[in-house]
């Protein structure tokens, strides 16, 4: 399952973009009249809706849309004027894809990037005709290999799917039948569509598994015996079994662990180069796409707003949205790390757009943006922005810099400032206050540098009148889980004197957390990083008093979690609160925001009536949900993900806690909203002196909001120290692996 790190570098610059000619917009309309290079394309007659003119209709004056201005090849797939709508019963019609033109050449890899709800998956489904009601293609056409896919009936479409294109879905690894071996999955496909069976089929299957770096023995295993990454590789191998010309990968690695993610992406890139199929990689992760694809399309509100060669996009984005997405990535090991954020949230696609759909969130909009932006050709790419080739300066939400005096644990300074960062040079400009927090008023910019004892003493007074802040101290904390496993009474059972054939219950224990000691000082922020299964969430839950350690002590002043009775735990929760990972599951759908926060205020602070109401409004304002009166009456489903997470944070603050345990608080949010939440957490720590345990797999955010870092592997702390030092000079191999797994942008 080891990846092939050497191949990834090759993938990026593997293919030069323009196949011939260098003049932008040159070579006229190359596709027209050019005979198909192979017999199958466009020569198959008009019966299947073959299209004579593969050139998309040009809606714009300047140059051709649909990607390459200079193409000499016949595209493998192209779409023109594609419109997709969702028409659910009893709900407004959502226009998910609007007039998209695109083309994919044989053997090229294209990335499609955008935040949730931008229509990227819908587009991917539309291209492969996988859309199901209530979604429907209302206009435009999709031509694959010379045939209009939108006009095919189900029978022809089926053949087309088998021989033409394959799809690998995010949940694809759960698509394997749990009661059949991997061999069975391959045998089905090969027998039905390639008429290969028996030993020959097995040989083909072994070969396919070899492509995805899996051993032949995997064939005899059941899906549940494989890890998530291995299953996803099996699915990829299955997709390749019929030698497709185009493979659509829809979020192929999103459900996987960080380390596995990288390895699977490497495999995809290598395979694509070797086998030579065309690939469309759909992802919300710009870093991932830029690291592997030749070209990248950025999608926003149902339109492709920018299409460029990956390297060009990474170097100098043309659309403000691409620039903002790019600003959410960074190298956590750099001297100066910044994180950009976009205020507001994506538009409601059931309302027809007025002019540029990004304008409401754009920090450089001008009156001209009220008109629909044309798609302009710039260099070898296109961009749909009125202001196009203009230097883009993204407002910055969070920043961390290494100070000159790197002494001890406190040498890392963190600044949360309103400012701007440019793309070229990465020098911080002071161009006035940008919109920092994602949806709300900016709090007072924390101007504190390194947190030292004296500074904290001052801040403490503001919020913690009740109890003197104390450190949360963990000593040799162990958490064991017992898994009852029934072992078959075959050979071993007989030897033990047990009855043959009768299973014996043998419990095996798993140490999720294995002897962790740490001390979270008041006002400090400690990061807990590690891959999934490293025990970081279990540790966080124990620190939040939701689980009891199997052994060891967790102490906060006089309170000892491991010996507390359940009914005394609320006393602990007055001082330690948790911010949950999933803002969609963390709020009860039937209760208003006011109820959720109000109950916590009532229970923990014993507030009633007017005082409760005023404190509720104060909290909502602290987390940036204004006007607070309006928000307190809202139900969770009326809020965006970012707003929900702010409510979750406000509820945690209602207890006036000394410690906040935040378990991946931004991993479920879109990248553009992450900066706002991280900034809020950072400011809370600075303004109220609450200490923060930040659990994450994302090293960049850890760098931005923590000053101390613990790296967890298999339940043990393998490395710890000041965040910047750990990231910049990691000593443990596991830490190095985690750092290497970050997609490199630019």
Stretch that binds other proteins, among 199-207, 304-312, 521-529, 574-582 (CB under 8 A): 574-582
Min dist CB 132 to other proteins, Å, is 9
Q: How far is the CB of 581 from other proteins (least distance, A)?
A: 8
Give the closest residue to 11 by CA, choosing from 357, 359, 281, 360. 281
How big is the CA angle at 115 (ends 129 and 674), to the nearest 5 degrees? Answer: 155
Which of the stretches 60-68, 119-127, 407-415, 540-548 binds other proteins when contact is defined by CB under 8 A?
Answer: 540-548
Q: Does 16 bind other proteins (CB under 8 A)?
A: no
Q: Can residue 603 be called a binding residue for other proteins (CB under 8 A)?
A: yes
89 binds other proteins (CB under 8 A): yes
Among 190, 212, 516, 596, binds other proteins (CB under 8 A): 596
634 is a site residue for other proteins (CB under 8 A): no
DSSP category for residue 568: G
Total residues interacting with other proteins, rule: CB under 8 A: 35
350 binds other proteins (CB under 8 A): no
Dist CA 131 CA 128 (whole Å): 8
Q: Report the residue number, 513 or 652, with the smaller CB distance to other proteins.
A: 652
Q: Which of 570, 629, 638, 736 binds other proteins (CB under 8 A)?
A: 570
588 binds other proteins (CB under 8 A): yes
CB burial string 465-477: b at 16+ within 10 A, e below: eeeebbbbebeeb
Q: Which residues pair with 709 in a beta bridge?
A: 527, 721
Burial of 32 from C-beta contacts in 10 A (0-12 / 13-18 / 19+): exposed
For the chain, the straight-line distance linking the first and the last C-alpha, in angstroms and rounded, comes to: 27
Does 577 participate in binding other proteins (rule CB under 8 A)? yes
For residues 374 to 403, the per-residue mask of contacts with other proteins, x marking binding by CB under 8 A and - elsewhere, is ------------------------------
Q: What b-and-e string marks burial along 718-744, b requiring 16 or more CB atoms within 10 Å of the CB?
A: bbbbbbbbbbbebeeebbeebbebbbe
Question: Whole-angstrom Cα distance, residue 620 to residue 649?
Answer: 10
Residue 484 is a binding residue for other proteins (CB under 8 A): no
* Residue 655 interacts with other proteins (CB under 8 A): yes or no: yes
Looking at residue 109, the DSSP 8-state letter turns out to be E
Query: Interface mask (CB under 8 A) for other proteins, residues 123-162, using x and -?
Result: ----------xx----------------------------
Q: Is 665 in the site for other proteins (CB under 8 A)?
A: no
Q: Nearer to other proteins by C-beta: 649 or 717?
A: 649
CA distances from 551 to 473, 511, 515, 542 (A): 14, 11, 9, 11
Which DSSP category does 88 fall into? -
In this structure, the dihedral spanned by the alpha carbons of residues 692, 696, 698 and 702, taken in order and rounded to 10 degrees, is 20
Can you tell me which of 292, 420, 581, 725 binds other proteins, judged by CB under 8 A?
581
> What's the CA gap between 231 and 214, in Å, rounded?
10
The piece of 115-123, 360-368, 474-482, 585-593 that touches other proteins (CB under 8 A) is 585-593
Nearest-CA neighbor of 302 among 353, 242, 341? 353
- Which of 543, 554, 578, 616 contacts other proteins by CB under 8 A? 578
Question: Which of 318/647 has CB closer to other proteins?
Answer: 647
- What's the rounded Cα separation, in Å, for the pair 430 and 447? 15
Region near other proteins per CB under 8 A, out of 160-168, 378-386, 480-488, 644-652? 644-652
Contacting other proteins (CB under 8 A), which of 9, 88, 184, 501? Answer: 88
Residue 586 interacting with other proteins (CB under 8 A): yes
Burial class (CB in 10 A: 0-12, 13-18, 19+), 562: middle
Query: Per the structure block, which two tokens stand in for 700?
Result: 């960049």
Among 211, 599, 714, 716, binds other proteins (CB under 8 A): 599
Candidate list 300, 456, 580, 734; residue touching other proteins; CB under 8 A: 580
Q: Is 356 in the site for other proteins (CB under 8 A)?
A: no
Pick the closer one to other proteins by CB: 89 or 447.
89
SS (H, E, C) 182-197: HHHHHHHHHHHHHCCC
Nearer to other proteins, 347 or 657 (CB): 657
Write b or e for each residue in 410-432: b if 16 or more Cβ atoms lie within 10 A of its Cβ, otherwise e.
bbbbbbbbbbbbebeeeebeeee
Distance of CA 412 to the CA centre of its chain: 28
Binding segment for other proteins (CB under 8 A), chosen from 52-60, 105-113, 549-557, 595-603, is 595-603
Taking CB under 8 A as the binding criterion, the range among 373-381, 488-496, 576-584, 714-722 that sits at the site for other proteins is 576-584
The residue among 48 and 547 lying less far from other proteins, judged by its C-beta, is: 547
> Residue from 155, 497, 589, 609 that binds other proteins (CB under 8 A)?
589
Which of 716, 718, 727, 719 has the alpha carbon at shortest distance from 539?
A: 716
Among 277, 573, 631, 694, binds other proteins (CB under 8 A): 573
- The reply to whether 122 sits near other proteins by the rule CB under 8 A is no
- The CB-of-569 to other proteins minimum distance in angstroms stands at 8
Query: What is the distance between the alpha carbons of residues 297 and 282, in angstroms, rounded to a whole number?
Result: 9
SS3 158: helix
Q: Which residues bind other proteins (CB under 8 A)?
A: 88-90, 133-134, 544-546, 569-570, 573-574, 577-578, 580-582, 585-591, 596, 599-600, 603-604, 635, 648, 651-652, 654-655
């Amino acid at each position: 399952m080891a990846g092939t790190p050497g191949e990834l570098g090759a993938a990026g610059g593997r293919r030069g973009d323009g196949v011939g000619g260098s003049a932008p917009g040159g070579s006229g309309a190359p596709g027209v009249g050019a005979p198909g290079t192979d017999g199958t394309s466009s020569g198959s007659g008009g019966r299947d809706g073959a299209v004579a003119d593969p050139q998309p209709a040009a809606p714009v004056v300047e140059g051709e849309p649909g990607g390459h201005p200079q193409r000499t090849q016949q595209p493998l797939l192209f779409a023109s004027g594609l419109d997709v709508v969702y028409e659910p019963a009893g709900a407004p019609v959502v226009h998910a894809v609007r007039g998209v033109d695109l083309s994919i050449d044989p053997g090229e890899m294209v990335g499609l990037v955008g935040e949730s709800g931008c229509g990227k998956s819908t587009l991917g489904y539309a291209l492969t005709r996988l859309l199901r009601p209530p979604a429907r293609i209302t206009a435009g056409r999709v031509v694959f290999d010379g045939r209009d896919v939108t006009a095919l009936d189900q029978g022809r479409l089926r053949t087309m799917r088998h021989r033409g294109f394959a799809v690998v879905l995010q949940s694809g690894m759960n698509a394997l039948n749990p009661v059949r071996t991997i061999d069975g999955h391959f045998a089905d496909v090969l027998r039905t569509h390639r008429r290969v069976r028996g030993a020959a089929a097995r040989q083909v299957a072994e070969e396919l598994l070899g492509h995805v770096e899996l051993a032949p023995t995997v064939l005899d295993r059941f899906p549940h015996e494989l890890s998530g990454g291995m299953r996803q590789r099996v699915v990829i191998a299955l997709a390749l079994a019929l030698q497709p010309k185009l493979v659509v990968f829809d979020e192929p690695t999103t459900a996987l662990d960080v380390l596995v993610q990288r390895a699977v992406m490497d495999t995809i890139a290598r395979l694509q180069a070797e086998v030579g199929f065309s690939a469309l990689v759909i992802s919300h992760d710009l870093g991932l796409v830029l690291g592997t694809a030749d070209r990248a399309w950025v999608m926003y509100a149902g339109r492709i707003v920018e299409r460029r060669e990956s390297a060009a996009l990474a170097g100098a984005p043309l659309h403000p949205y691409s620039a903002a997405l790019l600003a959410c990535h960074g190298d956590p090991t750099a001297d100066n790390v910044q994180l950009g954020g976009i205020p507001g949230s994506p538009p409601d696609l059931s309302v027809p757009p007025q002019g540029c759909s990004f304008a409401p969130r754009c920090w450089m909009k001008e009156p001209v943006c009220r008109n629909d932006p044309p798609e302009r050709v710039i260099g070898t790419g296109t961009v749909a922005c009125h202001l196009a080739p203009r230097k883009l300066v993204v407002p910055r939400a969070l920043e961390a810099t290494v100070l000159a005096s790197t002494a001890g644990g406190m040498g890392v300074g963190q600044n949360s400032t309103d400012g701007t960062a440019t793309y070229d040079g990465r020098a911080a400009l002071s161009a006035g206050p940008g919109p920092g927090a994602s949806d709300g008023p900016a709090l007072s910019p924390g101007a504190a540098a390194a947190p030292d004892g004296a500074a904290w003493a001052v801040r403490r007074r503001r919020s913690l009148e009740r109890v003197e802040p104390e450190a949360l101290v963990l000593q040799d904390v162990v958490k064991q889980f017992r898994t009852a496993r029934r072992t078959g009474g075959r050979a071993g059972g007989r030897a033990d004197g047990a009855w043959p054939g009768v299973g014996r219950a043998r419990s095996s224990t798993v140490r999720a957390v294995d002897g962790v000691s740490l001390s979270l000082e008041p006002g400090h922020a400690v990061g807990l990083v590690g891959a999934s299964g490293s025990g970081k969430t279990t540790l966080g839950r124990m620190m939040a008093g939701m689980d009891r350690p199997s052994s060891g002590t967790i102490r906060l002043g006089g309170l000892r979690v491991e010996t507390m009775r359940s009914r005394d735990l609320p006393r602990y929760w007055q001082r330690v609160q948790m911010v949950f990972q999933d803002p969609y599951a963390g709020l009860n759908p039937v209760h208003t925001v006011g109820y959720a926060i109000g109950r916590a205020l009532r229970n923990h602070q014993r507030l009633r009536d007017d005082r409760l109401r005023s404190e509720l409004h104060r909290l909502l304002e602290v987390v940036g949900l204004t006007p607070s009166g309006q928000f307190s009456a809202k139900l969770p489903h009326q809020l965006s993900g970012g707003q929900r997470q702010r409510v979750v944070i406000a509820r945690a603050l209602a207890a006036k806690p000394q410690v906040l345990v935040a378990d991946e608080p931004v991993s479920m949010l879109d990248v553009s909203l992450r900066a706002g939440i991280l900034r809020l957490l950072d400011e809370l720590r600075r303004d109220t002196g609450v200490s923060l345990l930040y659990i994450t797999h994302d090293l960049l955010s850890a760098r931005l909001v923590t000053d101390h870092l613990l790296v967890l592997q298999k339940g043990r702390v393998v490395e710890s120290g000041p965040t910047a030092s750990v990231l910049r000079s990691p000593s443990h191999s596991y830490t190095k692996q985690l750092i290497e797994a970050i997609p490199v942008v630019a």
